Structure 1
Amino acid sequence: MSVMKTILLAACRSLLALLAVGCVTSSDVQRLQSQINELQEQVAQVKRSASSKEEVQTVNQRIADQTQTLLKSNATLVAKVDQIEDKMNNTQGGIEQTNYRLDRLAQQLTQAQHDIEDLKAAAARAAAPLAIGPAPPAGTAPMSEVTVPAPAGTEDPMQTYQAAYRDYQRGNYDLAIAGFRDFQTRNPASDLADNAAYWVGESLFSQKKYREAIEQFDTVVTKYPKSDKVAGALLKKGYSYIALGERAQGVVQLQYVIHEHPNSQEAALARQRLKQLGIETR
């Protein structure tokens, strides 16, 4: 920049000197003036160029600063994402563990129900009255009590119930439903009538006939309100509503199980299911 100014000043001095001695023509003056104008234009260009460079440097510096800021923000974001992923992994592990425990508890409940069914069937057989034969003639030794076999064509009710229960265990749900309903029809006053009604509902639930299962479980609750199957019927009603997409109704049903049967295994299963749905219970 200073060099251009020096040249320009020198040209001006030369012009003044020539004018002073009077040895120049007008064309010489014009030519020199033209050169001075060119030099001035070059000086202006240099100034503009310098200004542009400064602006470019300023912009570059701003870009560099913003880049650093973005890099820092990105590093922070990556760290937060890593933390979230860790939390999600821990949460997923907890959910899997909870599901495993829930499955184990459900298996234990099912096994307990099977054991109870077997015990009830055995108790019913043991309580059946024994038929007594005719009195022995006088002077003869008393005969031991014997059970008179059922007349031909008459089926033992317990055999009907046990056959239906075996069909349920084997997944033959249609046969199980038919067998349990036949047992109920023939033995409405039996101690196992409520159980038969409940296992009809379980069979329908296993077939994913959730609406029919709900109606059957309602029958258990209303017809046998003192049955030990009521808690299970209420629980499976809740499961059925959820399976049908009627979440609110299912949640209410599960909460009712907890309220009415707080210390039962069914209540524990209801709490676990509500927890899976994101609903905390006391």
Structure 2
Amino acid sequence: MKRLMTGLLLGGLAGTVAAQSSTGPLTVEDRVYPRPQSSAAPARPQGQAQGGTPAVPQEGVMVLMQQMQQYEEELQRLQGMIEELRHELDSSREAERARYVDLDTRINALAEASLDKAPQDDAPAGDGSGNAAASNAENDRAAYSAAREKLLARDFPAAGNAFEQYLKDFPQGQFRPFAHFWLGEIYRSQPSPDRNKAMEQFQTVVDDYPDHSQVPAALYKLATLQAESGDTTRARVTLNRIIKQYEGTSEARLAQGMLDQLK
């Protein structure tokens, strides 16, 4: 009996030794998580497809698709903003053209009114030269009207010569402020604008006829030429003068619009 028990114990001990020699010693992890059988194929690393080619995780594909959609939405938003800005710019240009047309129309109306209301007799009382003064006033009107007709016909060279001749022939002429103003416009509107001469004419209107109706328009033309010449500092000074001295006029509104653009 003892021999039988001893044989069983020795056989069990031999089997345990054989198992350890084939699989190695069992660790705590081996006892809790048994090792896979040697016949099973080794597991593929995560993210690697069969044959050794890396596979893109499904989560990564979704993230890329979401980012592309966000970029497309942002691009559409920016394109919409560009269209709005382009529309605003076109509207501003059209409004500016309309304001210039309105200004020139009013200037023409003022010139016509001045022609109709021109004094007929500038001679001092009691000197016996009433007829000569009346004749001089008529010649004054006729010379200015002839120059202005050339301007309306857009014959700018001929109009410029006519206005310059008018200023020489009538040093006290009643239409001199208008003649200086239109000369400034002619110099400014030439194919090769002479900004210096144009500014001289507008400045003459401002300095020599400070109470004349053409002064606000002459100041605005001055500011425009100053800005076009790159002298934005002087242009701002002139625009602020218009806004302060001629508040509520169309020239003041135009000046404020230009001042906003120069900031």
With normalisation by structure 1, the TM-score equals 0.64
Distance 1:195 1:233, change over 3 A: same
**Alignment pair present for 1:85 and 2:79:** yes
Distance 1:83 1:237, change over 3 A: same
CA contact (8 A) 1:231 1:257 kept: yes
CA contact (8 A) 2:226 2:234 kept: yes
Number of residue pairs matched by the alignment: 214
Per the alignment, residue 55 of structure 2 pairs with 60
Per the alignment, residue 24 of structure 1 pairs with none
Per the alignment, residue 198 of structure 1 pairs with 181
Per the alignment, residue 239 of structure 2 pairs with 254
For residue 74 of structure 1, the aligned residue among 68, 87, 90 is 68
Cα-to-partner distance string for 1:175-200 (whole Å, 9 max, x where unaligned): 22222222222223233211111111
Q: Distance in 1 between matches of 2:252 and 2:206?
A: 16
CA contact (8 A) 1:180 1:200 kept: yes
For residue 238 of structure 1, the aligned residue among 199, 223, 247 is 223
Q: Distance in 1 between matches of 2:133 and 2:182?
A: 31
Q: For 1:191, what is the secondary structure of its paired residue? A: coil
Per the alignment, residue 186 of structure 1 pairs with 169
174-183 or 242-251: bigger deviation: 242-251
Cα-to-partner distance string for 1:227-269 (whole Å, 9 max, x where unaligned): 2211111111121123234444434433332222221211222
Q: Distance in 2 between matches of 1:238 and 1:67?
A: 61
Distance 1:240 1:72, change over 3 A: same
Q: For 1:225, what is the secondary structure of its paired residue? A: coil
Higher helix share: 1
CA contact (8 A) 1:241 1:250 kept: yes
CA RMSD of superposed structures (Å) = 3.4
CA contact (8 A) 1:106 1:269 kept: no
Gaps of 5+ in 2: 1-37, 124-130
Gaps of 5+ in 1: 1-42, 132-145
Aligned sequence identity (%): 19
